[in-house]
């Protein structure tokens, strides 16, 4: 009798006296990307993402395929972010993190956007699931690495500027021909050739001709 009651209790739709809530059907947005048209992994990525969504019992609302160089903006990625802003998807699925983010900083910025919108993020091959507490802890570590990356870039810029100054290089935007128009006319009146004026003032011959026109 006790075993029967325990069995009935386990099958009961109520938990601690309250109705058991059904599992939420997540609406997934899939994002697959390759850097060139010559790569053939997009079908592989899409198949892996669809299989993962099926195992989790998630429906697929949007599927995005993008081709572009590593340095280019991921323009089609904005479709998924727009869908997240419109509350049309609950989770974004990618094959690998480098398919989604251009850098650690970019990755972190977009993950923070999704988190602010209440949208999850899953990298299938890396077992990274930001819909779980463990995944959110990893996202916090990513924030640390992003700041580390930004600090390295700042140090490189400062070192580059210091090196340029030591070597007497002019920093900032180049001086335009318009700023040297007076000197151009003075040298020309002195009988200096246009080519020599351009050389002395370090501007193009076309700029010299334009000033004198």
Which tens digits make up the pLDDT trace of 13-56? 443 344 443 446 789 999 998 877 656 788 999 999 999 999 99
Q: Is residue 170 part of a domain?
A: no
Q: Is residue 51 part of a domain?
A: yes
Split at pLDDT 50, 70, 90, the class of 205 is: confident
* 118-134 residue pLDDT tens: 899 999 988 888 877 77
Strand, coil or helix: what is 29? strand
Give strand ranges (E) for the chain.
14-15, 18-19, 27-34, 59-67, 91-94, 120-123, 128-129
Q: Is residue 42 part of a domain?
A: yes
Co-location of 182 and 129 in the same domain: no
Q: Is residue 167 part of a domain?
A: no
**Residue 120, strand partner residues:** 91
Q: Is residue 41 part of a domain?
A: yes
Q: Which two tokens stand for residue 185?
A: 């006319």
Co-location of 103 and 196 in the same domain: no
Stated pTM of the model:
0.56
Q: Is residue 171 part of a domain?
A: no
Co-location of 97 and 186 in the same domain: no
* 61-107 residue pLDDT tens: 999 998 876 555 678 898 899 999 999 999 999 998 888 887 777 88
Which residue in 110, 108, 114, 116 sits closest to 141, CA to CA?
Answer: 108
CA torsion sign, 205 to 206 to 209 to 210? negative
Q: Is 35 a catalytic residue?
A: yes
| Cβ atoms 106, 72 nearer than 8 A | no
Instruction: Give the total number of structural domains in the chain.
Output: 2
Q: State the CB neighbour count (10 A cutoff) for residue 99.
A: 20
Residues spanned by the domain of 182: 177-212
Which residue in 111, 151, 109, 104 sits closest to 31, CA to CA?
Answer: 111
Which residue in 123, 48, 55, 67 sits closest to 91, CA to CA?
Answer: 123
Please pick, among 7, 12, 35, 103, the residue that the annotation labels catalytic. 35
209 phi and psi, to 5 degrees? -60, -40
Q: What is the pLDDT of residue 153?
A: 72
Q: Is residue 124 part of a domain?
A: yes
Co-location of 37 and 97 in the same domain: yes
Co-location of 188 and 138 in the same domain: no
Q: Which whole number is the average pLDDT over 188-200? A: 80
Question: How far apart, in Å, are the Cα atoms of 93 and each of 8, 11, 27, 142, 188?
Answer: 38, 33, 10, 18, 66
Instruction: Spell out the residues 6+ positions from residue 131 whose beta carbon is closer than 8 angstroms to its own.
Output: 91, 120, 121, 122
């Amino acid at each position: 009798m006790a075993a029967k009651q325990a069995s009935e209790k386990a099958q009961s739709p109520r938990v601690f006296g309250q109705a058991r809530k059904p599992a939420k059907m997540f609406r997934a947005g899939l994002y697959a990307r390759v850097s060139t048209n010559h790569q053939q992994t997009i079908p592989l990525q899409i198949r892996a993402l669809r299989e993962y969504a099926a195992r989790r019992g998630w429906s697929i609302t949007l599927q995005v395929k993008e081709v572009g160089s590593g340095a280019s903006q991921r323009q089609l990625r904005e479709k998924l972010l727009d869908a997240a802003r419109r509350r049309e998807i609950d989770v974004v699925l990618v094959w690998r993190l480098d398919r989604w983010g251009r850098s650690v900083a970019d990755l972190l910025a977009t993950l923070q956007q999704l988190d602010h919108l209440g949208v999850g993020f899953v990298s299938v091959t890396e077992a990274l699931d930001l819909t779980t507490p463990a995944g959110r802890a990893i996202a916090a570590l990513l924030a640390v690495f992003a700041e580390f990356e930004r600090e390295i870039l700042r140090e490189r810029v400062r070192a580059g500027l210091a090196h340029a100054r030591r070597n007497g290089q002019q920093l900032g935007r180049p001086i335009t021909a318009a700023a040297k128009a007076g000197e151009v006319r003075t040298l020309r009146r002195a009988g200096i050739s246009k080519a020599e004026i351009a050389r002395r003032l370090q501007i193009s011959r076309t700029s010299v001709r334009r000033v004198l026109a």
